[in-house]
Structure 1
């Protein structure tokens, strides 16, 4: 799924840590862990769009934006300044440079 990497990762606030969403695979893992009793229409639409993106039907930048909006709506999007510097450096590394 290397071709399913976002241009820039998203960070979401968990109870005791910050989780990075850097790829479509990360989003699938996040959605899989979402509580079943909180899976509303917005969740279902996002999940369907992710499946379409995995098939190459839906553009990856649009998935990233929709995930960002999903996290904002649920007050889960972490401010980049809240993320420890080490985590930011590791995600900013470019392989092969």
Structure 2
């Protein structure tokens, strides 16, 4: 599914951590784990669009935008500034100190 990578990842706020959604496969994992009692029409439409994207029928940038809107609606989209960037912290440290 390497050809199903988003241009830029989305970040999902979970209870105790932030999850990166960087590909269609990540979105399928999210949808698979979504609680059954919270699967509404919006969920079903997104799931169908993802299946169509996997078949090459629906454009991947549109999937990313729909996932972003889905997460915003549920107050689960993490702001990138809220996500700690490990690489930035590591690059600030000198080797040997």
Same fold (TM over 0.5): yes
**Ranges in structure 1 where 5+ consecutive residues have no aligned partner:** none
Q: 1:23 corresponds to which residue?
A: 23
- Asked if 1:56 is matched to 2:71, the reply is no
Q: TM-score, normalised by structure 2?
A: 0.89
- C-alpha displacement of 1:44: 0.1
Deviation at 1:86, TM superposition (A): 1.4
Q: C-alpha root-mean-square deviation of aligned residues, in Å?
A: 5.5
Measured against aligned partners, the alpha-carbon deviations of 1:10-50 in whole angstroms (never above 9, x if no partner) come to: 00100000000000000000000000000000000000000
Query: Where in structure 1 do 4 or more consecutive aligned residues deviate above 4 Å?
Result: 87-97
Cα deviation for residue 89 of structure 1 reads 9.2
Cα 1:77/1:4, change in 2 over 3 Å: same
Say how many residue pairs are matched: 97
Max Rg structure: 2
